[in-house]
Amino acid sequence: MIDVSREFVNNMFRLDNKVAIITGASGALGSAVAMGYAFAGAKIVASARNSEKLNKVVDEIRERGGDCLSFAADPTDENDVRALVKFTTEKYGRVDILGAFHGFNAPKSVLEQSVEEWQKIMDANCKSIYLLTKIVAEQMVKQGEGGKMVITSSARSKAGMAGYTGYCTSKGGVDLMVQSLACDLTAKYKINVNSINPTVFRSDLTEWMFDPESEVYKNFLKRLPIGRLGEPKDFVGLAIFLASPASDFLTGGNYDATGGYWSC
């Protein structure tokens, strides 16, 4: 008998009754994933530094039928991260999914960038992931039922770029951290840890790059077999997949969301 049931197939991408912490929820990718997870059935605690922007996202998710709460926090601050996890467990009783979709960059030549600026990028993109995964893992282990961690890395984690000594280094560190976390957490505790590595996706910060007449846009398309840059909704499917039962056998992976950029 074929070991695939209709029930499994019908529910393999569902997140019903799961509780998800989403960081970077006020941004383009984080807000899109928060909405997607809510539509897939999860209860959401949306987090970001800017409470005003965050509350607008949470209000929209609620207006569209999602179960979502807001908690402003700095993911580079251990006390804030512990408070975020405590809030989530107090309100929803558990944490099943961590979706880390925050990030920061300040491109500058190594000759011009201060050590303090470089460290800020490293803290925002790398230290924050260590804190989140560590503290959420502690809660998941206490629950004893496993969990899923979906971490945003970057296409730039695998190749350097001028002005990106901070960003590329931090994202390369994230990829290796994800692989190491999988070795620590998956077999023993059933916590799957994977990263998504995106190319340029539309946001307030990248909107200027989407002008089809610009040289930046034209140059990008030379390396993009998909023929266009990314939209936030393009990110949601992979994020749901990696948080759902469909990805139960996957861990320690750095998943290409580059439109084929890594292929060319």
Of all helices (H) and strands (E), which one includes residue 220?
helix 215-221
Residues 6+ apart with CB under 8 A from 202: 28, 210, 229, 230, 231, 232
Distance CA 197, CA 155 (A): 5
Residue at 218: amino acid letter: K
Residues 6+ apart with CB under 8 A from 124: 75, 76, 102, 103, 104, 170
Is 167 among the residues known to form the active site? yes
Distance CA 89, CA 240 (A): 22
Q: Which entry of 92, 130, 164, 167 is annotated as an active-site residue?
A: 167
Residue at 261: amino acid letter: Y
Distance CA 35, CA 26 (A): 11
Q: Is the CB of residue 251 less than 8 Å from the CB of residue 193?
A: yes
Assigned token pair, 82: 């512990």
Three-class HEC string of 27-94: CHHHHHHHHHHHHCCCEEEEECCCHHHHHHHHHHHHHCCCEEEECCCCCCCHHHHHHHHHHHHHHHCC
Q: Is 57 exposed, middle or buried (0-12, 13-18, 19+ CB in 10 A)?
A: buried
Residues that are catalytic: 167
